[in-house]
């Protein structure tokens, strides 16, 4: 039974990855040159999907609230930022190299994949090395049993700016987007009317030099994040933490993600980040196991205090009503956007004997509706279909026009990219201005007046 389940889950993973490439959601990056591990490109439909998720997040957590503002901080920050934040000294993974083929992998992942009952989180590198050697674990690439010692590697990407001596020009690609928020805390409080409690939000790229193969866009070198730092009085942290936990869970459900595939997991002390007093993840049940989807951390006043200390700038908050001065504490909800795009593909994937369907929530579907002429070789049908297409495009987007192949193939194509509705122009349309609207999930059809189409589709996708 275990074998059968593993086989089914492996098949599901491979089918979703194949669909993602076949239908233009996610491509292997640098594919024509053999690719680059842990890098992926979002194709036309993947880009639309990701942008829909991003825009819904911004609307839900920032635009609809009075206690949120946004920033867009630079990817490059003064390297002293990462020293003050603790990332230079604490942001590491335990890696190991095969002496035979030079393949590098994470030591904890190598152990977990081969020794299911051994708990490795938080173990020192010496203990990880001992476990690998005593159990004669094999290299996943070449099968050799000849590894180096486990070593700690910093996850920050290093690069250099300008033309000055290299040691003086070293900078890091940001490993998280939170630091740009903390650096702008005083700028925001000085230039806006925000009062604690309030949040500063940001969306953007982050970079981590980590190794995790075979999980599509779950963990990559370059990825998109959406998060905010919510600044509070220290004594309010527990209530605020629970408040945002509920909001995060509800938003995941609102996206259409199946609740049975979600769970909360609290980090144990040894696995928490250096800045966190409490961290919890919403995990998703991937075909390859439960993995983190969203996270929420109580960062205390760690960041503001450290940046005040290292920069010499006062980053405390002055209460405009009481005159009290203090360093706020922070609750940080984090949402991985690239990862979320992959999750909704796994969650929406459905297959029956006749077709494959992405049952995406219409709010996030890349294409909202497609318009077809019943026959591609009948000019009057094609012309009418183009007019209906243009009419819909004025009010709803994206809308597709398609007259390739037969009608059945067009339906199946739209099913696979998650289009909620297909509108077919047939000979009755020429008589009474009605069209056939086909529902993606049920494949049921109904006749709708062209003049009612916009309101009909809008009511279904809002």
* Average pLDDT score over residue span 276-283: 96
Compute the C-alpha angle 304/309/312, nearest 5°: 105
Residues of the chain with CATH 3.30.40.230: 92-154
- Across 100-104, 244-248, 325-329, 457-461, least confident range: 100-104
How confident is the model at residue 353, as a pLDDT?
Answer: 84
CATH assignment of 2-89+162-349?
3.30.930.10
| Residue ranges matching CATH 3.40.50.800 in the chain | 367-461
Mean pLDDT of the chain: 92
- CATH architecture entry for 92-154: 2-Layer Sandwich (3.30)
**Is 6 a residue whose pLDDT tops 60?**
no
pLDDT of residue 332: 98
Pick the CATH number of 367-461 from 3.40.50.800, 3.30.70.1140, 1.10.10.10, 2.60.40.10: 3.40.50.800
DSSP-assigned beta bridge partners for residue 281: 265, 295
Identify the helix (H) or strand (E) that includes residue 430.
helix 427-432
Residue burial 449-460, b: 16+ Cβ < 10 Å; e: rest:
ebeebeebbeee
Ranges in the chain annotated CATH 3.30.930.10: 2-89+162-349
Evaluate if residue 348 carries a pLDDT over 70: yes
Is residue 220 within 8 A of residue 338, CB to CB? The reply is: yes
Pairwise CA distance, residues 61 & 68, whole Å: 8
**Element at 376 (helix H, strand E):** none
Q: Are 208 and 154 in contact (CB under 8 A)?
A: no
Distance (Å, whole) CA 457 – CA 192 = 40
Listed range (137-146, 212-221, 420-429) with the worst mean pLDDT: 212-221
So what's the pLDDT on residue 86? 86
pLDDT, tens only, 218-277: 989 999 999 999 999 999 999 999 999 999 999 999 999 999 999 999 998 877 888 899
Report residue 5's pLDDT band, with 50, 70 and 90 as the boundaries. Answer: very low
What sign results for the dihedral spanned by CA atoms 199, 203, 205, 208?
positive
Inform me whether the pLDDT recorded for 428 exceeds 60.
yes
Q: Grade residue 3 by pLDDT with cuts at 50, 70 and 90.
A: very low
Distance CA 345, CA 12 (A): 11
- Please, which pLDDT band fits residue 155 given cuts at 50, 70 and 90? confident
CB 203 within 8 A of CB 106: no
CB 335 within 8 A of CB 252: no
């Amino acid at each position: 039974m275990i074998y059968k389940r593993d086989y089914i889950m492996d098949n599901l993973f491979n089918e979703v990855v194949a669909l993602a490439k076949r239908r233009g959601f996610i491509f292997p990056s640098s594919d024509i040159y053999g690719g680059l591990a842990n890098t992926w490109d979002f194709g036309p439909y993947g880009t639309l999907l990701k942008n829909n998720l991003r825009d819904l997040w911004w609307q839900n957590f920032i635009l609809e609230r009075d206690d949120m503002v946004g920033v867009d901080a630079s990817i490059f920050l003064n390297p002293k930022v990462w020293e003050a934040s603790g990332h230079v000294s604490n942001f590491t993974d335990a890696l190991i190299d095969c002496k035979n083929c030079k393949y590098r992998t994470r030591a904890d992942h190598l152990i977990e994949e081969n020794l299911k009952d051994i708990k490795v989180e938080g173990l020192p590198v010496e203990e990880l090395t001992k476990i690998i050697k005593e159990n004669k674990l094999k290299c996943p690439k070449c099968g050799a049993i000849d590894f180096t010692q486990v070593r700690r590697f910093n996850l920050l990407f290093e690069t250099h700016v300008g033309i000055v001596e290299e040691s003086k020009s070293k900078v890091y690609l940001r490993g998280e987007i939170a630091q740009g928020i903390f650096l702008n805390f005083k700028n925001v409080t000085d230039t806006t009317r925000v009062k604690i409690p309030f949040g500063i939000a940001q969306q953007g790229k982050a970079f981590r030099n980590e190794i995790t193969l075979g999980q599509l866009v779950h963990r990559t070198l370059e990825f998109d994040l959406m998060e905010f730092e919510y600044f509070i009085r220290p004594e309010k942290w527990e209530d605020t933490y629970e408040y945002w936990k509920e909001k995060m869970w509800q938003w995941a459900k609102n996206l259409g993600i199946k609740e049975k595939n979600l769970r909360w997991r609290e980090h144990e002390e040894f696995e928490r980040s250096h800045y966190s007093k409490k961290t919890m993840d919403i995990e998703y049940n991937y075909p390859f196991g439960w993995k983190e989807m969203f996270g929420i951390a109580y960062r205390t006043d760690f960041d503001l205090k450290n940046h005040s200390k290292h920069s010499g700038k006062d980053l405390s908050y002055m209460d405009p009503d009481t005159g009290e001065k203090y360093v706020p504490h922070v609750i940080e909800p984090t949402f991985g956007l690239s990862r979320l795009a992959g999750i909704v593909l796994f969650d929406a994937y459905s297959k029956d004997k006749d077709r494959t369907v992405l049952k995406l929530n219409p709010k996030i579907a890349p294409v909202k509706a497609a318009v077809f002429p019943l026959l591609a070789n009948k000019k009057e049908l094609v012309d009418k279909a183009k007019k209906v297409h243009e009419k819909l495009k004025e009010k709803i987007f994206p809308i597709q026009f398609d007259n390739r192949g037969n009608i059945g193939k067009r339906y199946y194509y739209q099913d696979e990219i998650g289009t909620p509705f297909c509108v077919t122009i047939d000979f009755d349309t020429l008589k009474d201005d009605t069209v056939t609207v086909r529902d993606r999930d049920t494949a049921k059809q109904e006749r709708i007046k062209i003049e009612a189409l916009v309101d009909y589709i809008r009511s279904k996708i809002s």
